[in-house]
Amino acid sequence: MAFEDLLNDPVIQKYLHELVGPTGMPVAAAPPDGEVTDEELAEQLDLELNDVRRALFILYENDLASYRRVRDEDSGWLTYLWTFHYDNIPENLESEMHRLLEAIEERDEYERTHEFYLCEVCSIRFEFGEAMDFGFECPECASPLESMENDRLVEAMEHRLAALRDELNVDIHAEAN
């Protein structure tokens, strides 16, 4: 995927927004070619220096930016020269999708292996053991706890899991081994 295409992709824009937030988005959305200092970015984008540094550090933590330090011979001050590495974004997104797949699989297993009870007044859900400890009565409002079916939630997770596995080309049987 070409660099310009990456930045125009709404999924990638959402990913960058989730990483750096609204204040850091100008930094993430317009990475310069070559090296740049945080002060130069702050000036170019008319942003607070701390907001630029925060965004750069988050990008650095996610392997989307790197820096090199240069010491000024006269003053001894360190200057950080930043370079952006957005070619790592597709790999990062795939890793995020694998983490999401794992989290949904764990939640699916939890939903399938537990029995739940609901206080329809407070909308609080309890596992069977908790409901039993409370005598099948809501500890907040004393209403009776009703058995709760979670079939629709499990079914929705199954659809999402199938879509994720398909997109990631993950074979459920190979994964189990």
Domain of 75: which CATH number? 1.10.10.10
Whether residues 132 and 159 share a domain: the answer is yes
Pair (115, 171) in one structural domain: yes
Better-scored residue on pLDDT, 79 or 177: 79
Q: How many CB atoms lie within 10 A of CB 72?
A: 9
What's the whole-number average pLDDT of the chain?
A: 90
Judged against a pLDDT cut of 90, whether residue 125 lies above it is answered with yes
Q: Calculate the CA dihedral of residues 121, 123, 128, 129 and round it to 10 degrees.
A: -90
Do both 99 and 172 map to the same domain?
yes
Q: How confident is residue 5, by pLDDT bands cut at 50, 70 and 90? A: low
82 vs 173: which has the higher pLDDT: 82
For 147-168, what is the mean pLDDT?
A: 92
Strand order in 124-127's β-sheet? 124-127, 116-119, 146-148
Residues 135 and 74 in one domain: no
Averaged pLDDT for residues 108-121 = 96
Which is more confidently placed, 176 or 169? 169
Residue whose tokens read 């310009």 = 4
The residue among 82, 84, 85, 18 whose CA lies nearest residue 53 is 82
111 and 167 share one domain: yes
101 in the same domain as 44: no
For 115, the domain range is: 90-176
Given the structure tokens 């099948």, which residue do they identify? Answer: 136
Q: SS3 of 27, please?
A: helix
Residues 51-107 pLDDT 10s: 999 999 999 999 999 999 999 888 989 999 999 998 888 888 889 899 999 999 999
pTM given for the model = 0.66
Residues 8 and 78 in one domain: yes
Indicate the pLDDT class of residue 176, thresholds 50, 70 and 90: low
- Of 84, 106, 135, the position where a domain reaches its end is 84
Structural domain ending residue among the three candidates 84, 108, 137: 84
Residues 94 and 70 in one domain: no
E runs forming strands in the chain: 36-37, 65-71, 78-84, 116-119, 124-127, 146-148
Indicate the Cα dihedral angle 29, 30, 35, 40, nearest 10°: -110
Determine the pLDDT at residue 173.
56
User: Do 95 and 172 belong to one domain?
Assistant: yes
Do both 136 and 62 map to the same domain? no
Instruction: Give the count of domains, the chain.
Output: 2
Determine contact, residues 95/110, Cβ cutoff 8 Å.
Answer: no
Q: Are residues 77 and 147 in the same domain?
A: no
**pLDDT surpassing 50 at residue 1:** no
Q: What is the pLDDT of residue 87?
A: 86
Tell me how crowded residue 51 is: count the other CB atoms within 10 A of its CB: 20
Higher pLDDT, 63 or 3: 63
Q: What is the pLDDT at residue 7? A: 67
Q: Is residue 142 pLDDT above 60, yes or no? A: yes
Separation of alpha carbons 42 and 50, rounded Å? 9
